[in-house]
Amino acid sequence: MRSSNLGYPRIGQNREWKKAIEAYWAGKLEEQELHSELESIRLGNLKLQQEQGIDLIPVNDFTYYDHVLDTAVMFGLVPSRFAWTGGQVDLATYYAIARGNKEATASEMTKWFNTNYHYIVPEITADLQPVLTVNRPLEAYREAKTKLGIEGKPVLLGLFTLLKLSKGYEAEQFSAWVDRLLPLYGQVLAELEREGVQWVQIDEPALVATLTSEELAEVQHIYGSLSKQLSGLKVLVQTYFEAVDHYKEIVALPVQGIGLDFVHDRGQNLRSVLEQGFPGDKVLGAGVIDGRGIWKSDLAAKLELLDALKQKVAADRLLVQPSSSLLHVPVTAAQEQKLDPVLQDALAFANEKITELVLLTQAGRKGASAVSAELAAADRGRKALQQSPARNKTAVRQRTAEAAAQPAERTADVETRRKLQQDKFQLPLLPTTTIGSFPQTPEVRSARLKWRKGEWSPQRYETFIKEQIQDWIRIQEELELDVLVHGEFERTDMVEFFGEKLEGFAFTSLGWVQSYGSRCVKPPIIYGDIEFTAPMTVAETVYAQSLTQAPVKGMLTGPVTILNWSFVRDDLSREEVAYQIALALREEVEALEAAGIGMIQVDEPALREGLPLKREQWPHYLDWAVKAFRLSTTTVKDETQIHTHMCYSEFNDIIEAISALDADVISIETSRSHGELIESFEKYTYDKGIGLGVYDIHSPRVPAVEEMTSMIDRALRVLKPSQFWINPDCGLKTRKDEETVLALRNMVEATRLSREKYGVKA
C-alpha cells in the first residue's frame, strides 16, 4: 500500500503566489523575478510532501493562473483574436487570454464542476491548428527530479475532459477534435516514457458525469489509442467529485490504474468495487480523504473502508489518496491560533490531510496498532466538536424544521407586484444600476486593517466608511444611474462579512483558497447551528439612502451562496444548513424593509455551482435551493422589490428554477460568455425583470459604447424593454476607480442611445 496525492494548493501559505503574480501585472516585478518566486513556491510545495512521506507526489499541478488554461495553450488552442504566431505561448498572451487586454476580450470563465474554483474555458474553433507548444508535464518532472530528487507523478488534464470543458465547436465535431488532439497527447506521453517517468496521472473528472454510449465509446477510443503507443509508462486515469456510472467499462480501460472518489460517491463506487470486483492487473487509487472538506477524517472508518477494498484489491495495488486535488482547501491549520481550541482540533487542511494519508498508509502496512495514538487523538478532536453546545441548539433545529414544512411564497403574483413597484419607484424604462460593490482601493483595505488591528477606533472607521459612501453616491448621481448602491466598502468578502455577524460561523486567519486566477477567498467555516443576532447591513444602507432621492438597494448574500462558498459542517445535510441560513437572512431582509429600504438584492451567484454532477439529482437540489432563497425573501410587502444576481455559470438548463426564485429582478452575467445566455430567452418566456450584464468587470479594459449597445440590441430582440435592466456583469470591487467610472459612463451612454433607438424616453 502506498500514499499518493492528486494536487496541492498553489497559492503559498501566505498567498505569496497571488502577491507575486499581481506584482508582475502591476509592473512591479520583472518576468524573470516572477519565474523565480513561483519556482520557490512550487519547489517548497513538493519538498513538504516529500518530507511528509508521500510516495507518489504530483508534479505539473502548479500553474501561473489556471490548469485548464495551461493545457489549452500547451496544445496551441489560442483564440485568433490574441494574434499568437506560434511557439511557446508567452506570458503576455497567456494572461491576455485569462484577463483580456486593450485589443481583445478575455476568454470565458466558469466553474470547475461543482466546486468554488473557476477555470478559463478553452475556445476550440475550426481555424485552430493544434500543436504541442511545450511539454509542461515533462518540464515539471525534470525540475522535481533534478532539484529535489523526487520521482514525480506528472499530472495532465485528460483529452475527454478538456473537450467537454471547451466551447466553440459543434457536438457532431467532438470525434474529429478527439482525433486532432490525440496525437499531441500521444506525443506528451511518449516523451514522458522516454524520460523514464514511472506513473502519469491523467485527470478525467468528466467521467463521473452522465455519459452517453457515444461518449463512452470516445473514452475507450482515446485510451485504446494511447495504450498502443506506450510500453513502460504507467497511466492512472483519475476521476473525482462523484461516482462513475459506467464502472465496468471505466475500470476495463487499457491503463494501469484507475482513481475513484470514495468520499463524494454516496457509496456507489464502493458498491461497484465490492459487487463487480476490480481488475487484478490494475492499481486502484482510493480517494478516501476528503479533498474538499476541512474536517479531520474519522480515520477508524477510513481504515474500515480500506479493509473493505482489500477484499477485492490486493494491498500492494492500493494507493491511499485524497478524493480530489487539495487545491480546494487552505494550506495548513497549524497557524490558526485564534480559533476556539475545540474547533481548531477538528480541522484538517492540506498539510493535515497529507498527514492523514501517510497515517492511513502506515496503518495499512503495519496495522492500526502502529499508529493507535494518532488515531485516538484525531477521534477526540472530532467528538469534542460534535458534542459542543454550538452544534446542539434545539430551538434553531425546531424552527428550521417548521419552516421547511411550510410553503414560502409572496402574497401577490409578479404582475401585481410590478405595477405596485413601478408606482412606488417611477423608474424609466431600461433602468440602470450596478451589482453592488465599488472599488476596494488600497485606502479602503488599509483603513479596514487599521481598524481590525485596533489602530483606528470604531468611530474613526465608521467616519471613513461614510466618506466612501458619500463619494460614490455623488459619483452615481453624476453618472445618472437610476438605482444606486452604497458600495459595500465595509465588507471584505461577500460571504465572510455576513458570517462574521451570524452565530455558528468561524473564521480563519490564513485559510485562503484560490477561487479564480489570483483571486483568493477565505471561506467561513460553518461549524454550528446558525442564528441571527443583530442587523448587519441596515446602518450603511440607510445612511446611503439619506444622501439621495434615488432608490438605494440593500445588498445581501443569499443562503445558497453562503452555503456553497463556505466550508460546511459534515454532520447535517446541506439542505438543513441552507434553511438555517435562510431564516437568519430573513430577519435581515425584514429589518431593511422596516428601515425604509424598498429594494433589497439577495445575491445567489453560486446557486448553479451546487448542482450535482448527475442530472437525476438536480431536481432535489434545485427544489431546496429555491426554497432556501424564498424562505429569506418572501415575507416582504408586495411593493418591496426583491433583486438577485448570478454570475459565471451556464443557466440555460435551469432557467425554470431561476424563475421559480420569484425575484422581481434578476441580473445575470452574459458579456463574458458573449451573449450566449440570451438564447435561453429565445426559448423560454421570462416574465420578471432581468438585467443581462453588458460588460465584463473581470477585465481591466473599458468597453466601448458600441459593444454595450450591441449587447442591449441582442437582448431586446427576445426581452421586452419594460422588463430589461442595464448593469455590469458583477460587482466592481476588484476594479480601479478611474476604469469603473469610465465604464459606467459608457454604460449610461449606451442606455441613452438604446432608449432613443427604441423610442423610449428617460
Query: For residue 595, how many C-alpha atoms fall within 13 Å in the half-sphere facing its CB?
Result: 24
Q: How far apart are the C-alpha atoms of 116 and 41, rounded to whole Å? A: 23
Q: Would you give the end-to-end CA distance of the chain in angstroms?
A: 72
Residue 328 among known ligand-binding residues: no
Residue 520 among known ligand-binding residues: yes
Torsion angle of the four alpha carbons 700, 705, 711, 712, in this order, in degrees rounded to the nearest 10: 130
Residue 565 among known ligand-binding residues: yes
Residue 645 among known ligand-binding residues: yes
Integer angstrom CA distances of residue 472 from 354, 730, 737 = 47, 17, 10
Residue 15 among known ligand-binding residues: yes
Residue 16 among known ligand-binding residues: yes
CB 496 within 8 A of CB 522: yes
| Active-site residue flag, 698 | yes
Residue 712 among known ligand-binding residues: no
Residue 111 among known ligand-binding residues: yes
CA angle 443, 445, 451 (to 5 degrees): 100
Residue 725 among known ligand-binding residues: no
Residue 488 among known ligand-binding residues: yes
Residue 620 among known ligand-binding residues: no
CA angle 553, 557, 562 (to 5 degrees): 175
Residue 710 among known ligand-binding residues: no
Residue 435 among known ligand-binding residues: yes
Residue 325 among known ligand-binding residues: no
Residue 116 among known ligand-binding residues: yes
Q: How far apart are the C-alpha atoms of 164 and 171, rounded to whole Å? A: 10
Q: How far apart are the C-alpha atoms of 329 and 680, rounded to whole Å? A: 35
Phi and psi at 557, nearest 5°, equal -95, 135
Q: How far apart are the C-alpha atoms of 421 and 211, rounded to whole Å? A: 46
Which residue in the list 67, 246, 328, 698 is annotated as catalytic?
698
Print the SS3 string covering 474-506: HHHHHHCCCCECCECCCCCCCCHHHHCCEEEEE
Q: Return the C-alpha cell found at 746.
A: 459608457
Q: How far apart are the C-alpha atoms of 711 and 674, rounded to whole Å? A: 8
Q: How far apart are the C-alpha atoms of 401 and 406, rounded to whole Å? A: 9
Q: Return the C-alpha cell found at 5.
A: 496525492
Residue written as grid cell 513561483: 38
Residue ranges of the annotated binding site are 15-18, 111, 116, 435-437, 488, 519-520, 565, 603, 609, 645, 647, 669, 730
- By annotation, the residues acting in catalysis are 698
Annotated binding site for L-homocysteine: 435-437, 488, 603
| Binding-site residue positions for 5-methyltetrahydropteroyltri-L-glutamate | 15-18, 111, 116, 519-520, 565, 609
- Residues belonging to the binding site for Zn(2+) are 645, 647, 669, 730
Binding-site residues from annotation for L-methionine: 435-437, 488, 603
